[in-house]
Amino acid sequence: MQEITLIRPDDWHLHLRDHDQMKAVVNDTAAQFARAIIMPNLVPPITSCKQALNYRQRILSAIDSSHDFEPLMTLYLTDSMSIDEIKSAAESQYIHAAKLYPAGATTNSDAGVTHIDKIQHVLEAMQKYDLPLLVHGEATADNIDIFDREKVFIDRTLTKIRQQYPELRIVFEHITTSDAVDYVISQNSKTAATITAHHLLINRNDLFKGGMNPHNYCLPVVKRELHRVALLKAASQHPGKFFAGTDSAPHAQNAKESACGCAGIYSAFAAIELYAEAFEQAGDFSNFEIFMSLAGPEFYGLPANKENITLTKQSWTVPDSLTFAEQTLIPFKAGQTISWTLGK
Ligand code: NCD
Ligand code: ZN
pLDDT tens per residue across span 221-260: 999 999 999 999 999 999 999 999 999 999 999 999 999 9
- Sorted by sequence, the CB contacts under 8 Å of residue 93 that are 6+ apart come out as none
- From 160, 164, 122, 166, select the one nearest 139 (Cα to Cα): 160
Instruction: Please give the positions annotated as active site.
Output: 247
Does residue 18 register a pLDDT over 70? yes
pLDDT for position 144: 97
Average pLDDT over residues 324-335: 98
Residues 192-217: pLDDT tens digits? 999 999 999 999 999 999 999 999 99
- From 204, 164, 159, select the one nearest 179 (Cα to Cα): 159
pLDDT, greater one: 99 or 106: 99
To which H or E segment does residue 317 belong? strand 308-317
Q: What is the Å distance from ligand 2's center to 196 Cα?
A: 9
Sheet with 337-342: strands ordered across: 3-7, 308-317, 337-342
Residue 97 to residues 13, 89, 131: CA-CA distances in angstroms?
Answer: 11, 8, 5
Does residue 99 register a pLDDT over 70? yes
Cα angle at 96 between 298 and 342, to 5 degrees?
60
pTM for this entry: 0.98
Pocket around ligand 1 at a 6 A CB cut-off? 15, 41, 106-108, 136, 218-219, 247, 249, 263-264
Does residue 40 register a pLDDT over 70? yes
Average pLDDT over residues 271-293: 98
Q: Give the ligand 1 atom nearest the CA of 263.
A: 7
Q: Give the ligand 1 atom nearest the CA of 13.
A: 11
pLDDT for position 106: 86
CB atoms within 10 A of CB 24: 21
Does residue 111 register a pLDDT over 80? yes
Domain locations in the chain as residue ranges: 9-305
Residues 297-317: pLDDT tens digits? 999 999 999 999 999 999 999
Q: What is the Å distance from ligand 1's center to 14 Cα?
A: 9
Q: Are 227 and 196 in contact (CB under 8 A)?
A: no
Bridge partner residues of 272 (DSSP) = none
| Cα(60)–Cα(57) distance, integer angstroms | 5
On average, the pLDDT of the chain sits at 97
Query: Is 3.40.640.10 the CATH classification of the domain at 9-305?
Result: no
Does residue 344 register a pLDDT over 80? no
Residues 124-169: pLDDT tens digits? 999 999 999 999 999 999 999 999 999 999 999 999 999 999 999 9
Q: Are 70 and 11 in contact (CB under 8 A)?
A: no
Residue 321 CA, chain-centre distance (Å), reads 22
Q: Give the ligand 1 atom nearest the CA of 217.
A: 7
Q: What is the phi/psi pair of residue 256, to 5°?
A: -85, -45
